Amino acid sequence: MINYKLIDESINYYSRHGFTRIESPWIVSDFIDQKTKPKGIQSFVIQHLNQNLVASGEQSFLSLYLNESLPKGKFQTVTPCFRDDSIDYLHKQYFIKNELIQTENVNINSLIEMINIAFRFYSSYFKQVRVVEVENK
């Protein structure tokens, strides 16, 4: 079951850390959908609009960017995600989540800061969160 209280708490938490909440599209062009999903995954197509339901807020942000509607700054957006996944404990065909993007002062330090902010939020709810180091190549 979707925990809307947790979504609301994430919005408030990220707002306190400088991420402005913006509305973003829940449907995107097939071009964006195809560029951002694994090969062989089924799209959720809305035939009469010739658009696809988003599988991630990443697609919504990309749509805003390509339409020159994403300003400079730090943003968060809550979107549904429609996925062609096998259903199990961690995977559902649809869910909702809050995603972040930073469009100015983009560098490794700001990325690390954003990861740390998100990690602190997750670890306050999920005690068994662990850090996995990734080498920057």
- pLDDT per residue rounded down to tens, the chain (137 residues): 888 999 999 999 999 999 999 999 999 999 999 999 888 888 999 999 999 999 999 999 999 999 999 999 999 999 999 988 778 877 777 899 999 999 998 999 999 999 999 999 988 887 776 767 777 66
CA–CA separation, 76 vs 100, rounded Å?
A: 4
Opening angle at CA 88, ends 86 and 93, nearest 5: 50
Please tell me the predicted confidence (pLDDT) of residue 54. Answer: 95
* Tally of helices (H runs) and strands (E runs) in the chain: 4, 6
Please tell me the predicted confidence (pLDDT) of residue 39. Answer: 85
Please tell me the predicted confidence (pLDDT) of residue 107. Answer: 93
Opening angle at CA 19, ends 136 and 70, nearest 5: 85
Does this model's pTM top 0.95?
no
Please tell me the predicted confidence (pLDDT) of residue 126. Answer: 79
CA–CA separation, 54 vs 57, rounded Å?
A: 7
Please tell me the predicted confidence (pLDDT) of residue 127. Answer: 75
